[in-house]
Chains A and B, each alone.
Chain A
């Protein structure tokens, strides 16, 4: 059973929290990557951005849902 997070007394599902975090963080990350000049090597910038977003989403879900992976690899 995955437990909800209480944010100011409002219960929020961890997948949801991860989604909001990922949306907020992916933009600045992509802008940093641009500043480093990395987009020269990217074939499809939009696809790349989405990939960054989903990677971040994965990371946040992994952070917010403890024990998510331990079950899968047990």
Chain B
């Protein structure tokens, strides 16, 4: 745990905002001041840009959810089962859209869903209050949000831009070590770690960067620069992993040529030093010196040519990434930049079927819980269903929600105990608002510091139930029985969801792996057939996202005989080569393009078969023959850029599809 100046400021700001929200709500005589206090904590963000986006999304979601509740509850209140079904379906629909949108914007949908559950279930017995409760929920949310914005943007705000520049710098450092590990031909495990670290960096940065448009006072160029750097970092994935494979193949037919090893050492050296830009030109020139493809080149020469092309590309991208990242930290330099590319939005993997199953199981759990509650006649069952719904929705997008849900269960239990001590031992002796603030400070300030830690968001599951259990209202009268009932219900609800998720999770993990792999193979088949048009950068972006999605399931994939042979990195590179070949085919003279089409349809057939079966199929021998004939035909072509492109793509295909034959 890290307790520095930043964490203390964040905690103090959050506490100040919560107390101000409480005070304002007391003064304005709102119904549930503790909701405002909760909201102040939930919206608290270390960066002002992120805070504003979350605040806006929260208000929008709350308004939609409250409106839905106002429409649903009064007409259906005489038929509890129907009402539960309606709320369950609404929550399911909202969760579906929230899972499809993988940006912070998904918060709107999620909140629209569980606001309805949050205020709908507890008032099923008193539908006449639906309007008032809905309105006061929106009111208290607004108060909490304003207070949170006031404190976090006025007192020692942290600049999102500088923090992003910092994190991007770290990502470039991670990239450097991955590159040098690859050049030094370290063990697979070492390189794999580097790759996963960079993939995680990119995903995290992408999520952070979605808040940039909400920062009002940063130069316009900033958002574009981020998109450009992101795109460049993503393009490095197939480059570097491809290089490491080629090195292995080249080494099988003899040691690496000395010119190449020297070049690699120099590039590593250049990456570690803060080098001036003219070295880039020198390094690229040396890469070009390695690229020779004359007469009838041997396989080894083709490989070397492929490596040299990739190296020169790598040097180029690395240099511009580094330059852009340095620019990010400098406000004046930023204004002078005119980034051309990088406007393209990132393509992310969306899985409608998976989102649908998740939403369906959520609706099912909510409905089942409600029916149990109605049948048992337990008065506080509504609270249990409500907490269960919120817990399920909050973690639904995670690969394995069970640990987070369990943490939430323990935190909630702890919050109940602490809140009990406050309610029945401390509060009876407090008679003023200042006294209230003073006694709350130790617990909330500590929780705030925890909340500021990386990954500290899980402590919200302490703060929110804590504020909820205190039920601070103007007319304070602690009632032990009500308190006990409420907290037991909370605990039962979350525990029920943990149990249900555990049962469903194993199935969903396999389904998720299956759909991701299937989508990859189908996409490659479609590209080969010419049905799907996708730019190579969009393809890489999609695949980096898929790799990130599969990362949490590494243990399942490794242990399952079905998936063990599947390699997503190979899928990414194969797809890339197919995209390049497709593009080159359009420019080829008729005598060659006919042969190309045959190759493409063979590829499409192979990947369509793989999509049906999911596990990696050995490619048919005919395909190898087609690729080799293609390579032979390429050497007969006139030397130009097209020939280079096709030679590279075919070499890549052969390496990826037939690693054993290729190294022979």
Contacts and interface: CB of A to CB of B under 8 A. Distances in A.
B427 to A, nearest CB: 29
B599 to A, nearest CB: 51
A49 B146 contact: no
B157 A46 contact: yes
Contact of A27 (B70, B139, B143, B214): B214
B277 interface: no
Interface residues of A, number: 27
A16 B59 CA distance: 12
A55 interface: no
A16 B139 contact: yes
Of A30, A34, A49, most buried by chain B (CB within 10 Å of CB) is A49
A42 interface: yes
Interface in A1-58: 8-13, 16, 19-20, 23-24, 27, 30-31, 33-35, 39, 42, 44-50, 53
Nearest to B55: A23
A42 to B, nearest CB: 7
Given A11-B131, A23-B142, A39 B217 contact: yes
A20 B217 CA distance: 22
Given A10-B134, A12-B135, A23-B59, A50 B142 contact: no
Given A10-B135, A11-B131, A46-B153, A34 B52 contact: no
B70 A10 contact: yes
Nearest to A57: B146
B52 A27 contact: yes
Given A16-B138, A46-B153, A10 B131 contact: yes
A24 B58 CA distance: 12
B150 interface: yes
Given A10-B70, A19-B146, A31 B55 contact: no
Contacts of A48: 217
Interface in B34-88: 48, 52, 55-56, 59, 63, 67, 70
B221 to A, nearest CB: 12
Nearest to A4: B135
Interface in B124-175: 131, 134-135, 138-139, 142-143, 145-146, 149-150, 153-154, 157
Interface in B5-61: 48, 52, 55-56, 59
B153 A27 contact: no
Contacts of A50: 149-150, 153-154
Given A31-B216, A45-B217, A49-B216, A23 B145 contact: yes
A9 B216 CA distance: 36
A63 B208 CA distance: 37
Contacts of A39: 216-217
Contacts of A42: 217
Given A10-B70, A46-B154, A19 B142 contact: yes
B216 A23 contact: no
Contacts of A24: 56, 59
Contacts of A20: 59, 63, 138, 142
B203 to A, nearest CB: 26
A22 to B, nearest CB: 9
Interface of A: 8-13, 16, 19-20, 23-24, 27, 30-31, 33-35, 39, 42, 44-50, 53
Given A10-B134, A45-B216, 11 more contacts: A10-B131, A11-B135, A16-B135, A16-B139, A20-B63, A23-B56, A24-B56, A27-B214, A34-B220, A46-B48, A50-B154
